[in-house]
Structure 1
Amino acid sequence: MTLTGLSSKDIEELRRKYGTNKLTQLEGESLWQKLLNGFRDPMIMILLVALVVQLVLFAMGQAEWFEPVGIFVAIIIANGVAAYSENSQEHKANALKEEAEALERAKVVRDSCLQEIPVDDVVQGDIVYLQAGDKIPADGLMIEGRVQIDQSALNGETEEADKFPPAQDNDSYDINDLLNNYYVYRGTIVCAGEGYFTTKVTGDRTLFGKMSLEVQEKQRETPLQVKLGKLAHQISTFGYVGAIAIIAGILAKTFFSGVWPEDILGWGRLIIDAVTVAVTIIVCAVPEGLPMLTSILLSLQSLKMAKDNVLVRKINGLETAGSISILFSDKTGTITEGKLSVVELALGDGSHYTDVKSFSRKAIRYFTVGAGVNNGATYSQGNIVGGNSTDRALLKMLADNQLVDEIDKTRLETSVPFDSERKVSSITYWMDPEDSRYFLKGAPEQVLGLCHYYIDKDGVERDFGDKTADEVLNGYINKQASRSMRLLAVAMGSNPDSDHLTLIGLISIRDNVRKEAVEAISAAQSAGVQVVMVTGDRKETAMAIAREAGLIRNDQDIVLTSDELKEKTDEEIKAILPDLRVVSRALPTDKSRLVKIAQELDYVVGMTGDGVNDAPALKKADVGFAMGSGTEVAKEAGDITILDDNFSSICKAILYGRTMFKSIRKFLIFQLTVNVAAVLTCFIGPLLGENVVLTVIQLLLINLAMDTLAAIAYGSEPALAEYMKDKPIPRQENIVTGGMMTEVIIGALYITIICLGILFIEPIRAWFGSTDGVYLKSAVFATFMMAITFNGFNARTEHLNPFEHLGRNTNFILVMLGIFVMQFVFVTFGGEALSVESLSLNSWLVCAGLAFGVIPVDVLRKAMKKAA
Structure 2
Amino acid sequence: MSNSHDNYFSIAPESLSNLFEPDGIRNGKSFELLSQLNGVSGICELLKSNASKGISENPSELTKRAQHFGDNRPHIYNRKPFWRFLLMPLSDTVLQILVIASIVSLIVGTIEDPIEGWYEGLAILVTVCIVIFVTAINDYKKESQFIKLNLQTDLCNIIVIREGMEKEITLKELLVGDLLCVTTGDILQGDGIYIRGSGLSVDESSITGESKLVKKEAFQDGDIAYDSFLISGAKIIEGSGLVLVCAVGQHSVLGRNRRMMNTLADEPETPLQERLTVLATFLGKIGFYAGIILSIALLLHLFIGAWIDERWGNQEWTDLVDAIILGITIMVVAIPEGLPLALTLAMAYSILRMKDEQIFVRHLKGCEIMGAATNILSDKTGTLTQNIMTVTKAMIFGESLDKIDCSKFPSDDVNLLVECISRNSTAFINNKNQKHDLVGNRTECALLMMLTQWGFDYHAFRNPEHLIAQFAFNPRTKRMTTVYDSENGEAIVYSKGAGEVILDFCDQELLCNGLAEKLTDERKKILLDIIKNWADLGLRVITVAYKKTSLEEIITEGPERKINEEKGEQGLILIGMLGIEDPLRPEAKQSVEKCKVAGVIVRMVTGDNSETAKRIAKNCAILPPGILDEEIDDYIMEGAVFREKVGGLVTVTNEDGKLEGFKVGNLEGFKNIIIRLRVIARCSPEDKLLLVIGLRALGEVVGVTGDGSNDAPALKHSDIGLAMMSGTPLAKESADIILLDDNFESVVNSVKWGRNVYASIRKFLTFQMTCNAVALAISIIGAGTTSDSPLNAIQMLWVNLIMDALAALALATEPPTDQLFFTKPFGRKEKMIIKDMVVSMITQSAYQIGILLVMLYEGPCIFDIEEGWGHDSWDEENGKHFTLIFHTFVMMQIFNEICCRKLSLSEINIFKGFFNNSIFISILVVTTGVQLLLVNFGGSFVRCTALSLEHHLICVGLGAGCILVSLFVRCIYKLSGKSKKSVEDEKYPLLRSNSSNHSDL
State the TM-score, normalizing by the size of structure 1. 0.70
1:745, distance to aligned residue in structure 2 (A): 2.6
Opposite residue 968 of structure 2, the aligned amino acid is: L
1:278, distance to aligned residue in structure 2 (A): 2.0
Cα distance in 1, alignment partners of residues 844 and 912 from structure 2: 20
Counterpart of 1:326 in structure 2 is: 375
Counterpart of 1:780 in structure 2 is: 885
1:537, distance to aligned residue in structure 2 (A): 5.8
Counterpart of 1:461 in structure 2 is: none
Q: What RMSD in Å do the two structures reach over aligned CA positions?
A: 5.8
Instruction: Give the SS at the match of 2:196.
Output: strand
1:444, distance to aligned residue in structure 2 (A): 7.9
- The answer to whether the Cα contact below 8 Å between 1:603 and 1:731 also exists between their aligned partners in 2 is yes
Higher RCO by CA contacts (8 Å cutoff, separation 6 or greater): 1
**1:521 counterpart = 2:565:** no
**1:223 counterpart = 2:260:** no
Instruction: Give the SS at the match of 1:486.
Output: strand
1:542, distance to aligned residue in structure 2 (A): 5.7
**1:89 counterpart = 2:185:** no
**1:296 counterpart = 2:358:** no
**1:645 counterpart = 2:742:** yes
Counterpart of 1:457 in structure 2 is: none
**1:695–1:342 CA distance, 2 compared to 1 (3 A):** same
Cα distance in 2, alignment partners of residues 509 and 95 from structure 1: 29
Q: Percent identity?
A: 26
**1:261–1:703 CA distance, 2 compared to 1 (3 A):** farther
**1:685–1:732 CA distance, 2 compared to 1 (3 A):** same
**1:129 counterpart = 2:129:** no
Deviation digits for residues 53-105 of structure 1, max 9, x if unmatched? Answer: 31332353375322442443343233322222011111133597741543783
Deviation digits for residues 408-461 of structure 1, max 9, x if unmatched? Answer: x99xxxxxxxx9999999xxxxxxxxxxxxxxx99889999989999xxxxxxx
- Equivalences for residues 387-426 of structure 1 within 5 A: 392-394=445-447, 396=449
1:526, distance to aligned residue in structure 2 (A): 3.0
Counterpart of 1:77 in structure 2 is: 137
Deviation digits for residues 171-200 of structure 1, max 9, x if unmatched? Answer: xxxxx999xxxx9999xxxxxxxxx99796
- Equivalences for residues 228-627 of structure 1 within 5 A: 228-250=276-298, 260=308, 262=310, 272-337=321-386, 340-344=389-393, 376=422, 381=431, 382-383=435-436, 392-394=445-447, 396=449, 475-481=529-535, 483=538, 485-486=540-541, 507-509=578-580, 514-534=585-605, 546=617, 549-553=620-624, 556-557=634-635, 560-561=639-640, 562=643, 564-566=647-649, 570=663, 574-575=667-668, 576=670, 579=675, 581-582=678-679, 599=696, 602-615=699-712, 617-627=714-724
**1:809–1:759 CA distance, 2 compared to 1 (3 A):** same
Instruction: Give the SS at the match of 1:812.
Output: helix
- Equivalences for residues 48-63 of structure 1 within 5 A: 48-61=92-105
Opposite residue 778 of structure 1, the aligned amino acid is: T
- The answer to whether the Cα contact below 8 Å between 2:617 and 2:623 also exists between their aligned partners in 1 is yes
Cα distance in 2, alignment partners of residues 320 and 604 from structure 1: 8
Opposite residue 528 of structure 1, the aligned amino acid is: G
Counterpart of 1:500 in structure 2 is: none
Cα distance in 2, alignment partners of residues 405 and 26 from structure 1: 40
Cα distance in 1, alignment partners of residues 302 and 762 from structure 2: 40
**1:329–1:346 CA distance, 2 compared to 1 (3 A):** same
Match of 1:99 among 164, 169, 172: 172
- The answer to whether the Cα contact below 8 Å between 1:223 and 1:732 also exists between their aligned partners in 2 is no
Cα distance in 2, alignment partners of residues 119 and 668 from structure 1: 44
**1:331–1:361 CA distance, 2 compared to 1 (3 A):** closer
- The answer to whether the Cα contact below 8 Å between 2:74 and 2:151 also exists between their aligned partners in 1 is no
Deviation digits for residues 183-230 of structure 1, max 9, x if unmatched? Answer: 9999xxxxxxxxx997967547998257999xx999975221122122
Opposite residue 741 of structure 2, the aligned amino acid is: D
- The answer to whether the Cα contact below 8 Å between 1:35 and 1:79 also exists between their aligned partners in 2 is no
1:806, distance to aligned residue in structure 2 (A): 0.9
1:804, distance to aligned residue in structure 2 (A): 0.5
**1:480–1:52 CA distance, 2 compared to 1 (3 A):** same
Opposite residue 794 of structure 1, the aligned amino acid is: C
- The answer to whether the Cα contact below 8 Å between 2:638 and 2:683 also exists between their aligned partners in 1 is no
- Where does structure 2 lack aligned partners over 5 or more consecutive residues? 1-15, 32-71, 107-120, 157-169, 182-187, 203-211, 239-252, 255-260, 462-469, 472-478, 484-495, 514-520, 546-573, 625-631, 653-662, 868-876, 979-1001
Counterpart of 1:766 in structure 2 is: 862
Opposite residue 649 of structure 1, the aligned amino acid is: S
- Where does structure 1 lack aligned partners over 5 or more consecutive residues? 1-7, 109-117, 131-135, 141-175, 187-195, 411-418, 426-440, 455-466, 491-502
Instruction: Give the SS at the match of 1:235.
Output: helix
Opposite residue 345 of structure 2, the aligned amino acid is: I
Cα distance in 1, alignment partners of residues 316 and 824 from structure 2: 56
Instruction: Give the SS at the match of 1:727.
Output: coil
**1:20–1:819 CA distance, 2 compared to 1 (3 A):** farther
**1:253–1:690 CA distance, 2 compared to 1 (3 A):** closer
- Equivalences for residues 796-811 of structure 1 within 5 A: 796-797=901-902, 798=904, 799-811=907-919
- The answer to whether the Cα contact below 8 Å between 1:326 and 1:532 also exists between their aligned partners in 2 is yes
- The answer to whether the Cα contact below 8 Å between 2:589 and 2:620 also exists between their aligned partners in 1 is yes
- The answer to whether the Cα contact below 8 Å between 1:485 and 1:510 also exists between their aligned partners in 2 is yes
**1:682 counterpart = 2:779:** yes
**1:639–1:445 CA distance, 2 compared to 1 (3 A):** closer
**1:198–1:510 CA distance, 2 compared to 1 (3 A):** farther
Match of 2:928 among 820, 823, 827: 820
1:689, distance to aligned residue in structure 2 (A): 2.1
Cα distance in 1, alignment partners of residues 784 and 233 from structure 2: 75
Cα distance in 2, alignment partners of residues 387 and 801 from structure 1: 51
Cα distance in 2, alignment partners of residues 19 and 617 from structure 1: 40
**1:596–1:277 CA distance, 2 compared to 1 (3 A):** farther
48-57 vs 321-330, which moves further: 321-330
- The answer to whether the Cα contact below 8 Å between 1:220 and 1:622 also exists between their aligned partners in 2 is no
Cα distance in 1, alignment partners of residues 392 and 213 from structure 2: 31
**1:693 counterpart = 2:790:** yes
Instruction: Give the SS at the match of 1:60.
Output: helix
Cα distance in 1, alignment partners of residues 388 and 98 from structure 2: 63
Opposite residue 99 of structure 1, the aligned amino acid is: K
- The answer to whether the Cα contact below 8 Å between 1:324 and 1:728 also exists between their aligned partners in 2 is yes
Cα distance in 2, alignment partners of residues 72 and 387 from structure 1: 52
1:301, distance to aligned residue in structure 2 (A): 2.3
- The answer to whether the Cα contact below 8 Å between 2:190 and 2:231 also exists between their aligned partners in 1 is no
- The answer to whether the Cα contact below 8 Å between 2:385 and 2:582 also exists between their aligned partners in 1 is yes
Cα distance in 2, alignment partners of residues 737 and 643 from structure 1: 35
Counterpart of 1:673 in structure 2 is: 770
Counterpart of 2:963 in structure 1 is: 855
Opposite residue 854 of structure 2, the aligned amino acid is: G
1:519, distance to aligned residue in structure 2 (A): 3.6
- The answer to whether the Cα contact below 8 Å between 2:406 and 2:454 also exists between their aligned partners in 1 is no
Cα distance in 2, alignment partners of residues 254 and 591 from structure 1: 71
- The answer to whether the Cα contact below 8 Å between 2:664 and 2:693 also exists between their aligned partners in 1 is no
Cα distance in 1, alignment partners of residues 796 and 786 from structure 2: 19
**1:862–1:197 CA distance, 2 compared to 1 (3 A):** farther
**1:655 counterpart = 2:710:** no
